[in-house]
Amino acid sequence: MNETEMRAVLETLGRKARRAAAALAVLPSDAKQLCLEKMADALLAARATIAQANAEDVAAARSAGMDEAKIDRLTLTDARISAMADGLRQVAAQSDPVGRVLSVDVRPNGLEISKVSVPFGVIGIIFEARPNVTADAAGICIKAGNAVILRGGSEAFRSNMAIAAALNAGGSACGLPEGVVQLIPWTDRLAVKLMLKMDRYIDLVIPRGGEGLIRTVVAEATMPVLKHYKGVCHLYVDAECDMAMAVKVIINAKCSRPAVCNALETLLIDRAVAPAFVPMIGRALREKQVELRGDAAFRALWPESLAATEDDYYAEYQKLILAVRIVDGVEAAVEHINTYGSRHSDGILSCIPEHIAYFTANVDSSTVYVNASTRFTDGGEFGMGAEIGISTDKLHARGPMGANELTSYKYIVRGNGQIR
Amino acid sequence: MNETEMRAVLETLGRKARRAAAALAVLPSDAKQLCLEKMADALLAARATIAQANAEDVAAARSAGMDEAKIDRLTLTDARISAMADGLRQVAAQSDPVGRVLSVDVRPNGLEISKVSVPFGVIGIIFEARPNVTADAAGICIKAGNAVILRGGSEAFRSNMAIAAALNAGGSACGLPEGVVQLIPWTDRLAVKLMLKMDRYIDLVIPRGGEGLIRTVVAEATMPVLKHYKGVCHLYVDAECDMAMAVKVIINAKCSRPAVCNALETLLIDRAVAPAFVPMIGRALREKQVELRGDAAFRALWPESLAATEDDYYAEYQKLILAVRIVDGVEAAVEHINTYGSRHSDGILSCIPEHIAYFTANVDSSTVYVNASTRFTDGGEFGMGAEIGISTDKLHARGPMGANELTSYKYIVRGNGQIR
């Protein structure tokens, strides 16, 4: 298919999405809930078809030499298909993010100004390997009254198509117009490039994947993008703190799931507490086989550490490596975080109220922790029920994004003839 | 100055702005209020210098052949300088938009998650002729804890520099760091181009001016932009309505200030009410010397109207011209507005609750009116105290934007050792 033909197909897809979005925007809460439940039913009904499509994707990936960790993420077991359906039911049961009255104000001239949440319209999602994102992302977008255009990784193409077909079958069973969930039907890069120019039809794009993918999307997209590039998360151990708790929190933040974006990457330790604390944390991290890369002051206290370079402090390792630096107090810690960090999730471990106040006020990150693990930056942990991603942007949404974050607002002004 | 030198100067300016922003972000409310009052004092103290600089700008503009309407907008009378100072004092007196607790939630594991408003950091403002924007925009940005980098029109260059100098004098008198208010010190286009690539230093750009300027900014900027391209505002006269009120509202919306973005551009009339209503509104608009461009059905009822083309329904005339169309009911009216409109401000004049509900739910505009003039889309009228612009975007801010809309938020999570 050449570019002209591709453009024509995308144009049709865009128009369909717009029409579907207009219908979804005014769909009553109970109808939306019912549709999401029907989609869950349809996923389960299509179990065999989805498993078959997925088996073909997995076979192709395996013969192309994909590594086993990625194969695992690509594979849809029976339990994972059920989990997708459960996810849709959970989103269905949540309160409606659309139509919330955000504020009401009656002006002196009698005008009543309501600020009411409304859907964006059409949301584009660009993601890599895991095919269950198709159902998860579609569910949360629809809950917020938005149509969705998905572009998944080429390895999961057959799986994604099968899942999208099932979701649409569920949607049409409850009267939703065609175009509520659509998948870009090609796997080549040109299709993404063209999708990212469809600002007439797509109101917002959310890329999910590695930093390279996200940078491409930001560079190419003509519509707004919500995203985070990476998570270089810090914990700062203050002069006075509960050291046993600090060890427990650091081990959890670094080791519980090192590959995710809210995992700890750099540990900052106040110089005053270092002589007492370094041996404790050093032993605990050694036990977990974490490779340490420290500055000279840290290595003086913990000689088995490698030397950290400047690059280490910018690094998102996503594995069992930790950069460490000894700093002179909370101000230096904040300075380090605001310089080297990614404005994702950063925390202080302290029992000095003034230092905690300084840290939370001055660290310019989406989520700032006091005496807790950075691993909690997550829609589920924040009580959002579902998560479409995490934003380190400052416009619109910051931190974990749930269905509420997939709405905009409009003002409705009621009068009785007011003129200006 | 060549591009390399220009880049170096901009780099310094950006770094200064970042440092100033970090200080402003944690400035207590009363200190911020005091600084804005000192800036107002400094503006009045610099009255003579500002008037002199402005006289030079006006003389240059006049000898370059600028028309009198523009000359008037460029001119800073004594009253206008006082008005700038008053504006700063009003903004100073407002409640602090930073540090608002937007929500607090205690999770089952004991974590307390607060969502707190924070400044963006550095805001860029690009604007055309009127030099008083320098003070107005700076005031509202600073109130929201942001440093500001301004780029004004070349005609007002001397005036803008004099105003910025006065604001900085006021700021430094109360201990604000250098770089709170900065002006791009060149008038050529290359400077704007370079400014729009400074996403390392500028968190948000707000362009104010004609559609051409705004399209350029959107195309060039690598940071987020809040804006509206134009205001093609509609009023729809429903089958049943208070016709005398409708006439009054339409005349106000079209005629009270035809050049502004919230003025009426297209009037839609339900076919059922047209025979009775068209002569009423026709006479009233004729009296105001409004040129009418209608469809065939309208012209059959009001033969002196010109014929409307398709282009007329997309037009933002900004003068005493009005496009008119007879439509078949509220659904057709909404369809017209969502097709031809600019998602700015649109209203229904009706006394049928079902039609009002359909209209407010389905019109996809920033501000939807019921029985009132579209002219109220304005920060002052909405009770925001000051306005930095109007947004027809859906991400972050929509409709009139005050100081609250110049903040983002961060999550502060307090725990006592929670791990995941």
Q: Supply the DSSP string of A17-32, one letter for each residue.
A: HHHHHHHHHT--HHHH
Strand order in the sheet with A367-372: A306-307, A291-294, A321-327, A264-270, A233-237, A345-349, A367-372, B407-418, B112-119, B101-106
What mean pLDDT do residues B216-227 have?
A: 92
pTM above 0.80, yes or no: yes
Q: Report the pLDDT value the prediction gives residue A2, as an integer from 0 to 100.
A: 86
User: Which residues on A lie below 8 Å from B101 (Cβ)?
Assistant: none
Name the residue facing B415 among A204, A371, A416 (closest C-beta): A371
The H helix count followed by the E strand count for chain A is 15, 16
Interface of A with B in 185-214 (CB under 8 A): 203-204
Chain B within 8 Å of A25 (Cβ-Cβ)?
yes
Q: Report the pLDDT value the prediction gives residue A241, as an integer from 0 to 100.
A: 97
Taking an 8 Å cut-off on Cβ atoms, the answer to whether B413 and A376 are in contact is yes
Which band of pLDDT confidence, cut at 50, 70 and 90, is reported for residue B268? very high
What mean pLDDT do residues B53-72 have?
A: 94
Residue B157 confidence (pLDDT) above 80:
yes
Q: Report the pLDDT value the prediction gives residue A180, as an integer from 0 to 100.
A: 94
Q: What is the DSSP letter of B331?
A: H
Chain B within 8 Å of A350 (Cβ-Cβ)?
no
Spatial separation of the C-alpha atoms in residues B7 and A320, rounded to whole Å: 40
pLDDT (tens digit per residue) in A187-236: 888 999 999 999 999 999 999 988 999 999 998 998 999 999 999 999 99
Give the distance from residue B411's alpha carbon to the nearest chain A alpha carbon, in angstroms. Answer: 5
Residue of B nearest to A256 (CA): B420
Residue of A nearest to B396 (CA): A396
Residue B117 confidence (pLDDT) above 90:
yes
Taking an 8 Å cut-off on Cβ atoms, the answer to whether A368 and B249 are in contact is no
Q: DSSP for B379-418?
A: TTTTT-SS-SEEE--SSS--EEE-GGGGEEEEEEEEEEEE
User: Which residues on A lie below 8 Å from B360 (Cβ)?
Assistant: 412
Chain A within 8 Å of B95 (Cβ-Cβ)?
no
Tokens (6 digits) for A72: 């695992």
Spatial separation of the C-alpha atoms in residues B382 and A271, rounded to whole Å: 52
Spatial separation of the C-alpha atoms in residues B57 and B49, rounded to whole Å: 13
Which band of pLDDT confidence, cut at 50, 70 and 90, is reported for residue B209? confident
Interface of A with B in 33-92 (CB under 8 A): none
Which band of pLDDT confidence, cut at 50, 70 and 90, is reported for residue B1? confident
Query: How many residues appear in chain B?
Result: 420
Q: Give the ipTM.
A: 0.93
Residue B6 confidence (pLDDT) above 90:
yes
Q: Report the pLDDT value the prediction gives residue A79, as an integer from 0 to 100.
A: 95
Residue B318 confidence (pLDDT) above 90:
yes
Q: Report the pLDDT value the prediction gives residue A177, as an integer from 0 to 100.
A: 87
Q: List phi, psi (to 5°) of B203.
A: -85, -20
Q: Report the pLDDT value the prediction gives residue B187, as an integer from 0 to 100.
A: 86
Residue B129 confidence (pLDDT) above 80:
no
Given a cut of 50, the residues of chain A with pLDDT beneath it are: none
Spatial separation of the C-alpha atoms in residues A141 and B129, rounded to whole Å: 42
Strands B399-401 and B389-391: antiparallel
Q: Report the pLDDT value the prediction gives residue A128, as an integer from 0 to 100.
A: 84
Residue B349 near residue B236, CB atoms below 8 Å = yes
Spatial separation of the C-alpha atoms in residues B55 and B159, rounded to whole Å: 8
Q: Report the pLDDT value the prediction gives residue A385, as an integer from 0 to 100.
A: 79
Q: List phi, psi (to 5°) of B211.
A: -60, -35
Percent of chain B with pLDDT over 90: 91
User: Which residues on A lie below 8 Å from B366 (Cβ)?
Assistant: 410-411
Give the distance from residue A408's alpha carbon to the nearest chain B alpha carbon, in angstroms. Answer: 6
Spatial separation of the C-alpha atoms in residues B20 and B38, rounded to whole Å: 17
**Chain A interface, best mutation among B394, B406, B409, B416, by max A CB count within 10 A:** B394
Taking an 8 Å cut-off on Cβ atoms, the answer to whether A371 and B414 are in contact is yes
Q: Distances from the Cα of A56 to the Cαs of A49, A53, B342, in angstroms?
A: 11, 5, 47
Spatial separation of the C-alpha atoms in residues A288 and B6, rounded to whole Å: 51
Q: Report the pLDDT value the prediction gives residue B408, as an integer from 0 to 100.
A: 95
Q: Report the pLDDT value the prediction gives residue B177, as an integer from 0 to 100.
A: 87
User: Which residues on A lie below 8 Å from B203 (Cβ)?
Assistant: 394-395
| Greatest C-alpha distance within chain A | 79
Contacts A–B by Cβ distance under 8 A: 198
Which band of pLDDT confidence, cut at 50, 70 and 90, is reported for residue B76? very high
Give the distance from residue A413's alpha carbon to the nearest chain B alpha carbon, in angstroms. Answer: 5
Q: Report the pLDDT value the prediction gives residue B2, as an integer from 0 to 100.
A: 86
Q: Report the pLDDT value the prediction gives residue A386, as an integer from 0 to 100.
A: 80
Spatial separation of the C-alpha atoms in residues A70 and B235, rounded to whole Å: 56
Q: Report the pLDDT value the prediction gives residue A187, as an integer from 0 to 100.
A: 86
